[in-house]
Amino acid sequence: MNTERDSETTFEEDSQPNDEVVPYSDDETEDELEDQGPAVEPEQNRVNREAEENREPFRKDCTWQVKANDRSFHEQPHFMNTKFFCIKESKYANNAIKTYKYNAFTFLPMNLFEQFKRAANFYFLVLLILQAIPQITTLAWYTTLVPLLMVLGITAIKDLVDDVARHRMDNEINNRTCEVVKDGRFKVAKWKEVQVGDVIRLKKNDFIPADVLLLSSSEPNSLCYVETAELDGETNLKFKMALEITDRYLQRESALATFDGFVECEEPNNRLDKFTGTLFWRNTSFPLDADKILLRGCVIRNTDSCHGLVIFAGADTKIMKNSGKTRFKRTKIDYLMNYMVYTIFVLLILISSGLAIGHAYWEAQVGNYSWYLYDGEDATPSYRGFLNFWGYIIVLNTMVPISLYVSVEVIRLGQSYFINWDLQMYYPEKDTPAKARTTTLNEQLGQIHYIFSDKTGTLTQNIMTFKKCCISGQIYGDPRDASQHNHRKIEQVDFSWNTFADEKFVFYDHYLIEQIQSGKESEVREFFFLLAVCHTVMVERTDGQLNYQAASPDEGALVSAARNFGFVFLARTQNTITISELGTERTYEVLALLDFNSERKRMSVIVRTPEGNIRLYCKGADTVIYERLHPMNPTKQETQDALDIFASETLRTLCLCYKEIKEKEFAAWNQKFMAASVASSNRDEALDKVYEEIEKDLILLGATAIEDKLQDGVPETISKLAKADIKIWVLTGDKKETAENIGFACELLTEDTTICYGEDINSLLHTRMENQRNRGGVYAKFVPPAHEPFFPPGGNRALIITGSWLNEILLEKKTKRSKILKLKFPRTEEERRMRTQSKRRLEVKKEQQQKNFVDLACECNAVICCRVTPRQKAMVVDLVKRYKKAITLAIGDGANDVNMIKTAHIGVGISGQEGMQAVMSSDYSFAQFRYLQRLLLVHGRWSYIRMCKFLRYFFYKNFAFTLVHFWYSFFNGYSAQTAYEDWFITLYNVLYSSLPVLLMGLLDQDVSDKLSLRFPGLYVVGQRDLLFNYKRFFVSLLHGVLTSMVLFFVPLGAFLQTMGQDGEAPSDYQSFAVTIASALIITVNFQIGLDTSYWTFVNAFSIFGSIALYFGIMFDFHSAGIHVLFPSAFQFTGTASNALRQPYLWLTIILTVAVCLLPVVAIRFLSMTIWPSESDKIQKHRKRLKAEEQWQRRPNVFRRGVSTRRSAYAFSHQRGYADLISSGRSIRKKRSPLDAIIADGTAEYRRTVES
């Protein structure tokens, strides 16, 4: 018996992944998976299952119960869940959205609690308590309290500002209004007041407030058209349809108010495309599916009003379930900084322990025998050493920089404002500036290794435009006049002769217009007639204007092109279509619509002309059309060449053809068609087979070329990011062909790219797993795993993989319960042990396979994952984070990108027409993908360099300041005596050395923004962590140690044999403290001058201003007046004026500063001369580089007959509107046939026809 597989089996293990379909939903239940295919079931299992079903009358997955117009029903005790001790709340969420963290009562305690979770803040709180103990305190309490209060206060204010913004956003959404049935009539209510079971009314252009069961609408058959841009980024409309029973009886307000239907459905989940439930009403049950559910976040379009029953509200809605878990994001530098602070803690304890031991020894050897040191306490040397340990913890506390965290927050806040204020990232067309929505991740923008991008709405504009066409072997679309002469500059075609022309349509080939109007080439008119008649577009006329709605943007672009060239689709009924042909209106009888699906890759329409002729018109992918052409097609090769040219220009191609059908032939075929249309089983397969019989021996008319318009600057941005060693992965739900075509259009893929597909890498990974299994064994643990590349070195490779193959390769297929009889009694210990081992082996195998996949994918220059679900997008991001330890950025524009955006280290939302769901979950947002290069290469790199410089300098200045106490200890009996005045210790980090380092962290830049964009290679320093790491930290530590030695020992040597001008030796402790402090302030402020690359007046003023401020405050604090007012707090009376009038001390200060800084200057000069960095070289030649070169797109390399990357017509992801049109359900009964309705469909349709 195979013990590894006795409990779980992989779903559809032997099936081949399907590239055309999006994989199963993210959280399908085991029961659903079991239902997907028949299985052989043991007799005993069948008996057990039937017994279980008899005991449980309701379906296990339909446990969510909703009663219409009955709020009390949902407050029953069995619907209540215990939240906290005895506090209970309903399992039905209310409709209010809450993203804020605090309220007026919880802000202070929660914010303080969060701040004291930081090790440094908690440490200083403990330190403050220690300073209150008289026996061990060596510093006044205010030296710690003042900086701590400043840190806590500034951080609290920042958190408060952020949370107020969240409150405002929540209130804006929660206070939107809709109409809800209350007291027997519709009343206006706020979204936050809506509850499960409410009946609501929505009007045209309203956002849907919750997940709602559609009951009725103002449209025929209660159709409702919705825009799902907020969910999936697609702007074309989808239609929903109510049940026939609710459409019939629930149109009036009184009927809706008394509606008492009962819904049983699945629990809240994240499946956007699935819904399972049942409506019980009027003693009858009605099945419910996703086509009857309006999802929160969608917008009602082209429907005057509709009514619905709230099924899921608030956090239970599918859009909220898809938003993923909010992760607290911290930067790599944050983690490193924390580890360094812990290292400083350890050093502090070790130093304090050593000095405490030294004090105990000194007390035993000297202190006990020196009568003049007796303090009246007879404590043992060890006890005195113990007290001194805590004394040194207090004295040396500035080794742990309390102001570090608040300074970092201030710098990040300032950098965030620079991003917000950057006019070069402002999009004037939509008045959208860039927005840093978080202030804690700026420097991580300079360390990105991988970018994960959505396609639709992120790389592309989701706008299709008709660019070129080939008719009878002749290519049209290049700029030329009516005489076929090419021109680089030519005016666009004037379509004013066509009253139906769209003003937005732009075309430059005047010769094509000449051909259409002259009628010399009948194929040209036939070509555009085909575009006008062969489609499932629906039309509505508003204010005299024709408005088209198509199942895909491609189809809409083709029908609009035909309209501009004089063949205007005007109206359709259930079995007719009306076309205006160059001003002549003609109506054709539609005999059959042969709709598109992902396997056929084509659609056809059979029409009868007014003259009685029957014709089939077909359009589809060239691969399927060419297989069905008549052998005698004279323009076949010319069209093939044109397709290659279009493909080289990354245009989406589509072949057009037609066929004359005889009456007898059609009658015979129609009988088969009707029989297949009503087949009770395998209807789709039967219809496809019938379609094949008629779609053959076709006559080729030509081909169209559509441009899926990229956003401006996408290729340039991707090129620059690639030069910065950033790898870009595209994760999209679109078709493989479409995604691949966009890859070429944005130059992520090139003609010399070797493309690997799912089946290719599956075999590679299988071989690698076999090799790893063979190498495993007894000696495997002693041999380190060697990294073996999957591909030979060199070459440009890309990986294109679909969601189905992704699940297959990553062993992420759904598991289902096996059909083996599950025994009721406990298993034996042996069985349990074997099952555990089996599970562990499967987990190890899965982890190894996933790691191998990531290694393989990372060897490719580009990766495109298509037909992937939101969860798969997040999974891919997480795999790269986990196995490559790389910094990731995800960028998207729709709700289906939210999970990915939250999973990545940094999430970027594209704010545009596609809704705000992605933006609200993002860390940064802007309107165009091209701004990403500036965000990373300029702001990100600058932020990283500034933060690294800031941290290195901050640690240096604190070590230089604090370790003077350490050297002083050797001369004061290790007595924890401070080397400075208390007020100097208090103000050193707050006033005397804070402003210059803050300004460097905010304003410094090694090269300008233009040079940063021109030389993307500068970015790699952040990816490799070259500017801040443990090595750099210990260099700063060593620098601080050496500086502190110079600061102490040079003045000490000067003070040993000193005689002042007045014959007195200024060798007292207070003069010594002032001398060291003065030398320290000058040294650290001049040091930051050496570290500054970009000088401004503000920088210079801050450095010299800080020195002046130090001397001004010192003279005030050392004055007699303040001593009289506060004699215990200010004890250095007259010290500054007495000491600093001695030239000898000024010489000592100058010598000390020179000894500290001159070696630094020498080392910097040598390093820039002998080992210059890339930025040093650019700085050296920056004047010569001012003549900026404009980035130029490399020319497309076209090789005739070689290109294999034509992207076929995308159509829609599902079938089109054929069923809706043929059934007549969308046709308004009381209006003119001309006034058809806009529609858009996503469900699968059954095709019928009335002859």
Any idea which residues carry the catalytic annotation?
454
Quick one: CA dihedral 924, 714, 755, 732, positive or negative?
positive
Cβ of 637: how many Cβ atoms within 10 Å?
A: 11
Reduced to 3 states (helix: H, G, I; strand: E, B; else coil), residue 405 is: helix
Where does residue 444 rank: exposed (0-12), middle (13-18), buried (19+ CB within 10 A)? buried
Cβ(703)–Cβ(654) below 8 Å: yes
Query: In the numeric block, which tokens belong to residue 267?
Result: 């629990």
Using alpha carbons, select from 1163, 1161, 1160, 1156 the residue that is nearest to residue 964: 1156
Q: How far apart are CA 208 and CA 210, in angstroms?
A: 6
User: CA 215, 216, 218: angle at the middle one, nearest 5?
Assistant: 160
Cβ of 261: how many Cβ atoms within 10 Å?
A: 22
Cβ(587)–Cβ(578) below 8 Å: yes
End-to-end C-alpha distance for the chain, whole angstroms: 60
Query: In the numeric block, which tokens belong to residue 587?
Result: 């109506």
Cβ(448)–Cβ(889) below 8 Å: yes
Cβ(575)–Cβ(1249) below 8 Å: yes
Q: How far apart are CA 74 and CA 194, in angstroms?
A: 13
Residues 6+ apart with CB under 8 A from 325: 902
Q: Which conformational region is residue 856 in: left (phi greater than 0), alpha (psi within -120 to 50 degrees), or beta?
A: alpha
Using alpha carbons, select from 634, 463, 605, 479 the residue that is nearest to residue 532: 605
Give strand ranges (E) for 243-361. 262-265, 277-281, 284-288, 293-294, 299-301, 305-312
Reduced to 3 states (helix: H, G, I; strand: E, B; else coil), residue 213 is: strand
Residues 6+ apart with CB under 8 A from 812: 806, 872, 875
Residues 6+ apart with CB under 8 A from 596: 602, 603, 620, 1211, 1212, 1215, 1216
Question: Strand order of the sheet with strand 305-312?
Answer: 185-190, 177-182, 199-203, 305-312, 211-217, 293-294
Cβ of 1038: how many Cβ atoms within 10 Å?
A: 12
- Kind and range of the H or E run holding 703: strand 699-710
Cβ(912)–Cβ(457) below 8 Å: yes
Radius of gyration of the chain (CA): 38
**b/e per residue 573-594 (b: at least 16 CB within 10 A):** bbbebbbbebeeeebbbbbbbb
Cβ(313)–Cβ(319) below 8 Å: no
HSE on the CB side for 758, CA within 13 Å? 20
**Distance (Å) of CA 436 to CA 425, 459, 529, 845, 926:** 12, 21, 51, 41, 9
Residues 6+ apart with CB under 8 A from 760: none
Residue positions counted in the chain: 1251
**Distance (Å) of CA 285 to CA 67, 262, 1047:** 14, 9, 88
Q: How far apart are CA 816 and CA 809, in angstroms?
A: 18
